Structure 1
């Protein structure tokens, strides 16, 4: 049991998962920075605190009081429904901008989306993968393992050549094999496995997602 907890903690840390209870929001905003630059995009906020209330403060004041010192804004995201109860956002790594919160002079809140605490935005390095999202996928399937508890793998496929059932079965066996025979070096090894698998599937027009929900 102790080994399982250590493994899960390591994986969650690696993928920057917010697999914990609390409130989760996606804000679309326009921010004016101290260098006169104007940024429009999406910010994700995970908090145990009070949600934003326009009657109590401006959104600019709320950000300065409730967000971390460094803010990440995605200038563009694409949303995809994975199931009836699950939706994921995708953003290119090149559309991710990080800046100090003290640079913000003013903020216009355009809209707000509340979602279940857990992973919402998935970062893609490949522009080719991102372009896949212009069309509806042929199918979406999930891989679950007893070892992953509240986490899972989603396979989003855009090619008729792929046998998703076969790919899913192969991944399930490989993931279970890691936990069956590996030891304390498991975290690095399985993260490397996921990284290589992501590249392998991308070449087959499949986007690989590892995500977690709140316990």
Structure 2
């Protein structure tokens, strides 16, 4: 219930992590049955390990284990205290059916472990991203989500992240005493706070690891 509440509020968690497994990011070139070529990144969570035999067209489809996948044409990677996160936005997202592609070339791939890596942002949020490493603070409350933290990011040195951290932490602490009763109030608070922070050039995300 806690994880569901968190994902509904932020609308950015793509996977609910139940336990440890494997997670891969593939940089792909795909040629369709009609000869069209597209490029993009595919994120795949699985209990299977990637092997050399899976790097061919047919075997790769078997490894993915589904026909319909999400492809991102562009991502921006941000390093936060040793944690690498990928950000994208809706216009870079495309749903494709792998059966429509006769050739799939894996340009490279990354095994990033059982953690959340890709985050879809609004245009306003995505425009906050800069080349330099951001300032950041994290907020954790086990009653709210035992394997997830909220992270505040800012590329503006004048942003007072600690002030917002204190405010959000207190609100989560107060309302999570009875999370079932206060779930809607807490989600509404965080949704409005996310919009407020974006206007103040601060990005709010939720990051989850496997239990």
The bucket for the TM-score relative to the shorter chain is 0.7 to 0.9
Show the counterpart of 1:11. 6
SS in 2 for 1:64: helix
In 2, distance between residues paired with 1:96 and 1:88?
Answer: 17
Aligned counterparts, 1:163-182, within 5 A: 163-182=160-179
The question of whether the paired residues in 2 share the 8 Å contact of 1:18 and 1:46 is answered with: no
Partner residue, 1:3 = none
Alignment correspondent of 1:41: 40
* Number of the residue aligned with 2:71: 73
Aligned partners of 1:123 and 1:169: how far apart in 2?
A: 26
CA distance in 2, matches of 1:124, 1:83: 21
Which string of whole-angstrom CA distances, capped at 9 and with x for unpartnered residues, describes residues 102-134 of structure 1?
Answer: 1121111111111121210011111x4323323
Report how far residue 158 of structure 1 moved: 2.1
* TM-align CA RMSD: 2.1
- Structure 1 residues 102 and 193, CA gap change in structure 2 (3 angstroms): farther
Contact 2:138/2:165, CA 8 A, preserved across alignment: yes
Report the secondary structure of 2:180's partner residue. Answer: coil
The 5 Å alignment of 1:60-209 reads 60-67=57-64, 68-84=66-82, 86-126=83-123, 128-147=124-143, 148-183=145-180, 186=183, 188-209=184-205
Q: Distance in 1 between matches of 2:84 and 2:14?
A: 18
Distance of 2:134 and 2:102 partners within structure 1: 44
Change (3 A) 1:59 1:170: farther
Residues in 1 aligned to 2:89 and 2:134: alpha-carbon distance in whole angstroms: 22
- Gaps spanning 5+ residues in structure 2: where? none
**Secondary structure at the counterpart of residue 25 of structure 1:** strand
- Measured after TM superposition, the shift of residue 101 of structure 1 is 2.0
For the structure 1 residues 34 and 184, does the alpha-carbon distance in structure 2 shift closer, same or farther, using more than 3 Å as the test?
farther
Q: Structure 1: how far apart are the matches of 2:7 and 2:128?
A: 27
Identify which range, 73-82 or 31-40, moves more after superposition: 31-40
Give ranges in structure 1 of 5+ residues lacking alignment: 1-5
Give the superposition deviation at 1:61: 1.5
User: In 1, Cα distance between the equivalents of 2:169 and 2:191?
Assistant: 16
Q: Distance in 2 between matches of 1:193 and 1:93?
A: 24
Q: Is the 8 A contact 1:29 1:40 kept in 2?
A: yes
SS in 2 for 1:107: strand
How does the TM-score come out when normalised to structure 2?
Answer: 0.87
State the partner residue of 1:27: 26
How far apart in 2 are the matches of 1:8 and 1:79? 25
